[in-house]
Amino acid sequence: MRQSQLFMPTLREVPADADVKSHQLLLRAGFIRQNAAGIYSFLPLGKKVLHKIENIVREEMNRAGSQEMMMPALQLAELWQESGRWYSYGPELMRLKDRHERDFALGATHEEVITSIIRDEVKSYKKLPLNLYQIQTKFRDEKRPRFGLLRGREFIMKDAYSFHDKQESLDETYEAMKNAYSAIFSRCGLNFRAVLADSGAIGGKDNHEFMVLSDIGEDLIAYSNESDFAANIEMAPVLLEVKSSSESLLELEKVATEQAKTIEEVSGFLNVSSSKIIKSLLYMADGQPVLVLVRGDHEVNEIKLKNELSATDVALASVEDTKKWLNTEPGSIGPVSVSEEVKIIADQAVPYMVNAVCGANESGYHFLNVNPKRDFEYSQSADIRFVVEGDKSPDGKGTIVFAKGIEVGHVFKLGKVYSEPMKAAYLDENGKNQIMSMGCYGIGVSRTLAAVAEENNDDKGLIWPLSLTPFDVHLIAVNSKNAEQAALSDELYDLIKNDGFDCLYDDRPERAGVKFADSDLIGLPIRVMVGKRASEGIVEVKIRKSGESFEVPVSDLSSFIKQEWDKLKN
Amino acid sequence: MRQSQLFMPTLREVPADADVKSHQLLLRAGFIRQNAAGIYSFLPLGKKVLHKIENIVREEMNRAGSQEMMMPALQLAELWQESGRWYSYGPELMRLKDRHERDFALGATHEEVITSIIRDEVKSYKKLPLNLYQIQTKFRDEKRPRFGLLRGREFIMKDAYSFHDKQESLDETYEAMKNAYSAIFSRCGLNFRAVLADSGAIGGKDNHEFMVLSDIGEDLIAYSNESDFAANIEMAPVLLEVKSSSESLLELEKVATEQAKTIEEVSGFLNVSSSKIIKSLLYMADGQPVLVLVRGDHEVNEIKLKNELSATDVALASVEDTKKWLNTEPGSIGPVSVSEEVKIIADQAVPYMVNAVCGANESGYHFLNVNPKRDFEYSQSADIRFVVEGDKSPDGKGTIVFAKGIEVGHVFKLGKVYSEPMKAAYLDENGKNQIMSMGCYGIGVSRTLAAVAEENNDDKGLIWPLSLTPFDVHLIAVNSKNAEQAALSDELYDLIKNDGFDCLYDDRPERAGVKFADSDLIGLPIRVMVGKRASEGIVEVKIRKSGESFEVPVSDLSSFIKQEWDKLKN
């Protein structure tokens, strides 16, 4: 396309209200414009990238056996009342009335609509499983829309829903969707992880978020530096590493520790490593006292603790409760000689501690040479701490590192959360009525665009991966007013197009500096500049990503571009 | 795709609330489902057809130089207040408030949004013209949604907007869009006309509706049976056909006509053809009396009359006004001896009438042998009647016939209707501030799907044109439980796919009758049935449109399908 005809309004200045790189660059390079807070238009360059993402999503979803359909944005309130979300969703769900005063929701997601369709149409196990998807505009009235396309109020999502009679069938589809998502995000050139996530109130263990590693991410994830293990920081299990100790058990000894209360203070005062200290915390779990023990260099993970205790509510005990149950103040508590009414739970690492330090349940005193089992009992030991960087990966491969992530996808086994209240039932092989199981699978399509932009840029602008670039080659007539350059550029425009590359041809009567700056900003992979050496039949080729630059005779240009394109592919 | 896995819920019964063929068949064949009044989901087959229409639209729009973009559905009320449509649009515009109580409209169309973008980004004539389009969901709260996708409340539209500095540039783009639309609807296999339409309050002559000829259409159009002339019935000009008469003028004669008042009664009473009678109607045009004359077999077109008189309001005169100005009652009025205060306007055919009949402005009497100019004067003569079937086409080619039409597209020169109030200005070559001119160009994408279904069906179901068919070939294992038939079907499924055809393979364990009925219903162009003669290597091929059926040896199947496909192309 000739750039003189393209609607691509670029900006020199960084827009004041854009605080992340992707937002700034997508605005500056003329890919998007804001129409209202959290609401954007995709200009032609942005729309082209969006199309490419959508096509990748479509290809991989179809390949995985999902069927495309399209549901409406206007959804009857009655459906949301059936699922209960009309009441629980809060102000993020946009609501309106039609001319007959009937209540509608603007689709934030489509579980209710798809479940209502399937329950009406599918009556027998013979028609299951089903996996259906759509690529569609969603509406969520975020309290604080920000980061441009990353957290908007109107955005494009691919959402898929599957329906099953058997658990194995759901498991199979879940795996197929996970694989499809990996293929999709790989093809988009993203550095992502499938992260094990908390299932929250819904329960169930199969819940993965696809996270692009990024400093501006709002979630913290723990992943292996050598395998594909990754989990939300709250969910990451800890692999127990037992180092057998040759130390002989010394005699229990009570020492005065003055004002030293925190692990750091005690460690300094007694000159012992924090890993030798038993951190003891009194919790109240559903009203009962529980003394929780972890190593001094570890932190209690309350989600794991709660799950391990099968409690609905756990919280640190108050000063009063600590006095009541341990007869001392926080800061010098420990597991030795504790009333039997106080349950003791130890992190799985604690039983392996030898000659450790702990509070003496007496203000200003600690015990030295504390040894589990000899000096105190505990009712259970389990993984109840947060992973830390440097832990061994739970799959045994590599070491845990932390990173922030942008969520671009989510796969989730819903089970019967929607099908039960909405009565999506089928007849099984024995003619018995059964409730369907469901899975749901989402991709933030417009968010993926922003995530790619966030990951692929430099000081000068965007750097598109081949799979998503709005155009393949940027041909620039350095001085369009020079007849020789213009003529050669016109000729090369046809040549490049005929070679099958989508070519943007900067034929504008602008200064070279403006053209080069715009070209860097929009970030097409390969740039061909027709300049002063046009008369000699020589052009300059520049690779956006590496910055490498080559003088290429016109006769070699065709093969040179192909060669560089293939190099960039790998 | 294997039909056992496809979500394609077919219905045997005609749904009670579906009153047109396309709506019934799209529901019955499992292409769509209703979610609320005027709100539909596209199931997988429907979505596939929708995709094909969208791709045709996209290809032709891109070819015509329009650039794809994507604007939001949520639109700030402020923009609609600037254009004035917030107040004038009425309850069809769906409105809502966000969590901060800010007013939004749900996009019914996008003139305001695109104009706000362009006025912010385009400041110079150098950046004009621009032509931008999107394929997007629109919301209009129709009072009476009906006919399924033909008149819905949420629907898919392609809308394009162009911006210009010069009238010739707008003219050029308008022509390009008209041509693109013809290409689009031709590729969709529709029998359509580009119909000259009334510009209403906006004015301007360039306004065409693309109408698919159909008995269920809500608009009446007049078109030539031999050329591409077509116009809305209100707009169609009449070509004056002068037949010189050799009759000699007879003497004016007043006759009693008793109770005969209407043209029919007078024609019967006097035994003269209605084309010999001057129909005289007294109108009040902006408060002034105007006697309007047309031939007895013609009808006054009030839009033409209004335009011809440059009046803002014309209406038939009351009995009182008739008495006041003509001193008689309606039913016997005529142009002879009328007060000079009453303006007389004659249809262009009237001056050529010879020895005509008209009312005598005296109850119960008419004149015979009335001759214009000799017996009465008129201040102007013009085309002020409706066309009738049998009129010569205004372009001189063929004869006018009437048909009903479904509007599937619309091209319109907006001029400055939006750019003026919204202040979309640019600097011209002389540095002078000017308001841009605009055009807008819409296609009902989901409506086009319904129009194609409405036009292509028979008693048994849909009949898809090649360009839009959800699958190309329907392969049916007549008895899937027969091992030989199943094995051959599997083999042919691969063969057909490898030949590049998108094949739907009915591998379901259903009765043959059910399979054939479903196949007729969804209407794929070519059907291959693997039945009893599978053992002899013979299958049956049926052409959906013609109903022709052939026994084909498996070895010839590949070339046979290609040959029939090519035949269907032409």
Name residues 74-93 of chain B within 8 A of A (Cβ). 74-76, 91-92
d(CA B29, CA B23): 10
Rg (CA), chain B: 30
CB B344 within 8 A of CB B373: no
Of B7, B36, B67, the CB nearest to A132: B7
- Over residues A543-551, mean pLDDT: 97
CB A123 within 8 A of CB A426: yes
In the structure, how many helices (H) and strands (E) does chain B have? 13, 31
d(CA B570, CA B565): 9
d(CA B103, CA B123): 29
User: What distance in Å separates residue B71's CA from the closest CA in chain A?
Assistant: 4
A46 to chain B: nearest residue by CA?
B69
B41, A113: Cβ pair inside 8 Å?
yes
Closest by CA to B10, choosing from B545, B527, B522, is B522
Between helix B445-455 and helix B21-28 the angle, nearest 10°, is 100
d(CA B78, CA A139): 20
CB B524 within 8 A of CB B456: no
A33, B117: Cβ pair inside 8 Å?
yes
Q: Tell me which chain A residues have a C-beta less than 8 angstroms from the C-beta of B154.
A: 72-74
pLDDT for position B268: 95
- Over residues B32-42, mean pLDDT: 97
B155 to chain A: nearest residue by CA?
A72
Matching residue, tokens 């015990």: A367
Burial (CB count within 10 angstroms: exposed 0-12, middle 13-18, buried 19+), residue A346: buried
- Over residues A334-356, mean pLDDT: 95
Of B33, B75, B122, the CB nearest to A117: B33
A69, B122: Cβ pair inside 8 Å?
no
Tokens of residue A375, six digits: 């000096």
pLDDT digits (tens, 9 = 90+) for B390-424: 999 999 999 999 999 999 999 999 999 999 999 99
pLDDT for position A244: 77
Residue A104 has pLDDT above 60, yes or no: yes
Say yes or no: B471 contacts chain A, CB-CB below 8 A.
no
Residue A567 has pLDDT above 90, yes or no: yes
User: What distance in Å separates residue A86's CA from the closest CA in chain B?
Assistant: 15
ipTM field: 0.89
CB B492 within 8 A of CB B212: no
Q: Tell me which chain A residues have a C-beta less than 8 angstroms from the C-beta of B143.
A: 99
Residue B203 has pLDDT above 60, yes or no: no
- Among A5, A67, A471, A502, most B C-beta atoms within 10 A, so best to mutate, is A67
d(CA B445, CA B135): 8
**Between B342 and B243, whose confidence is greater?**
B342
d(CA A199, CA A231): 12
Q: Tell me which chain A residues have a C-beta less than 8 angstroms from the C-beta of B70.
A: 41-42, 46-47, 50
**Between A154 and B198, whose confidence is greater?**
A154
Distance spanning both ends of chain B, measured CA to CA: 27
d(CA B280, CA B294): 7
- Among A35, A133, A164, most B C-beta atoms within 10 A, so best to mutate, is A35
Tokens of residue A484, six digits: 């020789």
- Over residues B256-272, mean pLDDT: 93
CB A33 within 8 A of CB A41: yes
Q: Is B327 helix (H, G, I), strand (E, B) or coil?
A: coil
A65 to chain B: nearest residue by CA?
B5
pLDDT for position B558: 97
Q: Tell me which chain B residues have a C-beta less than 8 angstroms from the C-beta of A120.
A: 33
pLDDT for position A235: 85
Q: Tell me which chain B residues have a C-beta less than 8 angstroms from the C-beta of A104.
A: 36
Q: Tell me which chain A residues have a C-beta less than 8 angstroms from the C-beta of B104.
A: 36
Residue A200 has pLDDT above 60, yes or no: no
- Among B4, B42, B98, most A C-beta atoms within 10 A, so best to mutate, is B98
A74, B99: Cβ pair inside 8 Å?
no
Confidence of residue A331 (pLDDT cuts 50, 70, 90): confident
- Over residues B516-525, mean pLDDT: 98
Name residues 142-171 of chain B within 8 A of A (Cβ). 143, 153-154
**Between B218 and B174, whose confidence is greater?**
B174
pLDDT digits (tens, 9 = 90+) for A484-495: 999 999 999 999
- Among B3, B12, B63, B70, most A C-beta atoms within 10 A, so best to mutate, is B70
Residue A471 has pLDDT above 70, yes or no: yes
- Over residues A472-479, mean pLDDT: 97
B74, A50: Cβ pair inside 8 Å?
no
Q: How many degrees, rounded to 5, is the angle at CA B483 between CA B482 and CA B489?
A: 90
User: What distance in Å separates residue A56's CA from the closest CA in chain B?
Assistant: 15
Tokens of residue B124, six digits: 């110079």
Of B36, B95, B117, the CB nearest to A41: B117
Of B41, B67, B73, the CB nearest to A69: B41
B126 to chain A: nearest residue by CA?
A4
- Among A98, A137, A143, most B C-beta atoms within 10 A, so best to mutate, is A98
**Between B234 and B105, whose confidence is greater?**
B105
CB A238 within 8 A of CB A383: yes
d(CA A345, CA B51): 59
A48, B68: Cβ pair inside 8 Å?
yes
Residues 6+ apart with CB under 8 A from B59: none
Confidence of residue A243 (pLDDT cuts 50, 70, 90): confident
Confidence of residue B242 (pLDDT cuts 50, 70, 90): confident
pLDDT digits (tens, 9 = 90+) for A137-184: 999 999 999 899 999 999 999 999 999 999 999 999 999 999 999 999
Matching residue, tokens 């002899």: B536
B117, A76: Cβ pair inside 8 Å?
no
How many residue pairs from chains A and B have C-beta atoms closer than 8 A? 139
Beta bridge partners, A406, equal A212
Confidence of residue A197 (pLDDT cuts 50, 70, 90): confident
| Antiparallel, parallel or unpaired: β B74-76 and B314-316 | unpaired
Rg (CA), chain A: 30
pLDDT for position A364: 92
Residue B201 has pLDDT above 70, yes or no: no
CB B423 within 8 A of CB B248: no
pLDDT for position A320: 93
Residue type (1 letter), A216:
I
Name residues 4-23 of chain A within 8 A of B (Cβ). 5-7, 9
Beta bridge partners, B291, equal B282, B344
Residue type (1 letter), B377:
E
Tokens of residue A22, six digits: 């992707």
Provide φ and ψ at B488, rounded to 5°.
-65, -40
- Among B48, B78, B96, most A C-beta atoms within 10 A, so best to mutate, is B96
- The total of other beta-carbon atoms located within 10 Å of residue B55's CB is 13
User: What distance in Å separates residue B565's CA from the closest CA in chain A?
Assistant: 26
Residue A201 has pLDDT above 80, yes or no: no
pLDDT digits (tens, 9 = 90+) for A493-536: 999 999 999 999 999 999 999 999 999 999 999 999 999 999 99
Q: Tell me which chain A residues have a C-beta less than 8 angstroms from the C-beta of B73.
A: 73, 137, 139, 154
- Over residues B464-468, mean pLDDT: 98
- Over residues A392-416, mean pLDDT: 94
Matching residue, tokens 């011809």: B308
Q: Tell me which chain B residues have a C-beta less than 8 angstroms from the C-beta of A153.
A: 74, 98
Confidence of residue A205 (pLDDT cuts 50, 70, 90): low
CA distances from B51 to A69, B46, B58, B548 (A): 10, 9, 10, 29
A143 to chain B: nearest residue by CA?
B99
pLDDT for position A252: 96
User: What distance in Å separates residue B74's CA from the closest CA in chain A?
Assistant: 7
Of A68, A96, A116, the CB nearest to B47: A68
pLDDT for position B479: 95
- Over residues B244-256, mean pLDDT: 91
Residue B200 has pLDDT above 70, yes or no: no
B96, A106: Cβ pair inside 8 Å?
yes
A113 to chain B: nearest residue by CA?
B35
Tokens of residue B259, six digits: 């109770």
Q: How many CA atoms lie within 13 A of A252 on its CB side?
A: 16
Residue B205 has pLDDT above 70, yes or no: no
Instruction: Spell out the alpha helix ranges (H) of B143-201.
Output: 167-187
Instruction: Spell out the alpha helix ranges (H) of B283-400.
Output: 302-309, 319-326
Residues 6+ apart with CB under 8 A from A374: A249
A154, B72: Cβ pair inside 8 Å?
yes
Structural domains for chain B = 16-237+402-453 (3.30.930.10), 253-382 (3.90.960.10), 471-569 (3.40.50.800)
- Over residues A399-421, mean pLDDT: 95
User: What distance in Å separates residue B109's CA from the closest CA in chain A?
Assistant: 14
B154, A42: Cβ pair inside 8 Å?
no
Q: Which of A216-225, B205-214, B353-362 has the highest mean pLDDT?
A: B353-362
The mean pLDDT value of chain B amounts to 95
B33, A130: Cβ pair inside 8 Å?
no
Say yes or no: A559 contacts chain B, CB-CB below 8 A.
no
Between helix A44-63 and helix A167-187 the angle, nearest 10°, is 140
pLDDT digits (tens, 9 = 90+) for B92-126: 999 999 999 999 999 999 999 999 999 999 999 99
Residue B204 has pLDDT above 60, yes or no: no
pLDDT digits (tens, 9 = 90+) for B52-102: 999 999 999 999 999 999 999 999 999 999 999 999 999 999 999 999 999
- Over residues B232-255, mean pLDDT: 89
